[in-house]
Amino acid sequence: MLRQILLSKIHRATVTECDLNYNGSISIDQDLLDASGMREFERVEVFNINNGARFSTYVILGKRGSGEIGINGAAARLAMAGDKVIIINYGMMDDREAANHRPTIVIVDEQNKVIKH
């Protein structure tokens, strides 16, 4: 049996922009993707701490070192610049893999720079 297990989390990132007219997705600074292990086009879940909204989307590359967390497309109605969000991804694992797995937790500062992982 496979279980859906947390792979990584970017905790309390600050939304830097929202673009309703973009075709969808979340743009994330490449430095944060590297730290978390998330990949371009991967499905992620986003939890908005400010308003409780939760949604799924996919990752697109943000400019490295920019601190960018951009909510795009229809999801832009669920967040505002300045909101705090949690971004997570999951992977499928069997019990043996899951027993030894520890998720990567990336904690960021107000400018979305990694302070702990």
User: Hey, which residues are catalytic here?
Assistant: 25, 58
Read off the tokens for 100.
Answer: 């030894």
